[in-house]
Amino acid sequence: MVARVLEGLDVWKVYGKTVAVAGVTIGINKGETKVIIGPSGSGKSTLLRCLGLLERPTKGRILFEGTDVYASKLDLSKLRAKIGFVFQDPSLFRHLTALDNVKLGLRRVLGLSEDEARRKALEALRLVRMEEWADHYPAQLSGGQQQRVGIARAIAMDPDIIIFDEPTASLDIELKWEVIEVMRDLAKRGTTMLVATHELHFAREVADEIIFMDHGKIVEVAPPEEFFKRPKTERARRFMARLLGGVTGW
Ligand SMILES: Nc1ncnc2c1ncn2[C@@H]1O[C@H](COP(=O)(O)OP(=O)(O)OP(=O)(O)O)[C@@H](O)[C@H]1O
Ligand SMILES: [Mg+2]
């Protein structure tokens, strides 16, 4: 049986007169990597925040492992702990080392012992190839290294899914790669991932499905080889042409 981790059913999010998400239905199964792409303002971040239980949809349902989150009496903060988030800016605590940044949630949210938290944090830092930097402070790390610590912080909590919102958007091209490689490792290890990104190499190599959004709606859903070879909709074709503008052979 397919295990559905997260599902949004006819999700709407309206801010005043802005309809950020306009009736999106989406599901992510255990072990899948789904990639959302779309123009700026198309509602990607808003949808991710709704699915990640950071924002309540104006209308529609969010199901976490089959349970309707807002119709049930489940403890939202407990559910949120099962969903990892990686944003564009990792927002590490400046006064804490990489290790202590990763340990924080393990101690405070999961209530692990010092030894156990340390063990899990080091294991997560190893997975993102940052074990050697455990004792460094954020200011001593590059943007890519900081982002990898941010990913370690998410992994360490053993979430059921990790949601990435343009995790490489603020990094220089050479720093992007180290983050993308780590994300690729995670996807290949079977981590359940929902990723908004414009990193087409990553999307093409590891996505099980590409979801193209525009104006708050899902316009096209396709396996990467189909989507990149032959987008079905004119809007996706135009977006890809702009994104790839001048880039060949990727
Ligand atoms: N908190 C908010 N209050 C008011 N409007 C918002 C809020 N968050 C998002 N919006 C609006 O909703 C729309 C969708 O924004 P969103 O950030 O989800 O798009 P996006 O696809 O993530 O864009 P980008 O690629 O630039 O990150 C935009 O018009 C945005 O201005
Ligand atoms: Mg966004």
Please write the tens of the pLDDT for every residue from 98-126. 999 999 999 999 999 999 999 999 999 99
Nearest CA to ligand 1 atom 2: 15
Distance 69 CA to ligand 2 centre (A): 23
Ligand 1 in reach of 46 Cβ (< 6 A): yes
Question: 32-56+76-243: which CATH number, 1.10.357.10, 3.20.20.80, 3.40.630.30, 3.40.50.300?
Answer: 3.40.50.300
pLDDT top residue among 72 and 45: 45
Give yes or no for residue 247 having a pLDDT over 80. no
Q: What is the pTM of this model?
A: 0.95
Give yes or no for residue 1 having a pLDDT over 70. no
| pLDDT for the residue 154 | 97
Nearest CA to ligand 1 atom 6: 15
Q: Rg of the chain's alpha carbons, rounded to an integer?
A: 18
Q: What is the mean pLDDT of residues 4-23?
A: 98
Nearest CA to ligand 1 atom 8: 46
| pLDDT for the residue 249 | 45
Q: Give the mean pLDDT of the chain.
A: 95
In angstroms, the CA 198 to CA 97 distance is: 30
Q: Phi and psi (nearest 5°) for 161?
A: -155, 150
Size (the chain), residues: 250
157 neighbors 123 (Cβ within 8 angstroms): no
Percent of the chain with pLDDT over 70: 98
Distance 113 CA to ligand 2 centre (A): 36
Distance 90 CA to ligand 1 centre (A): 19
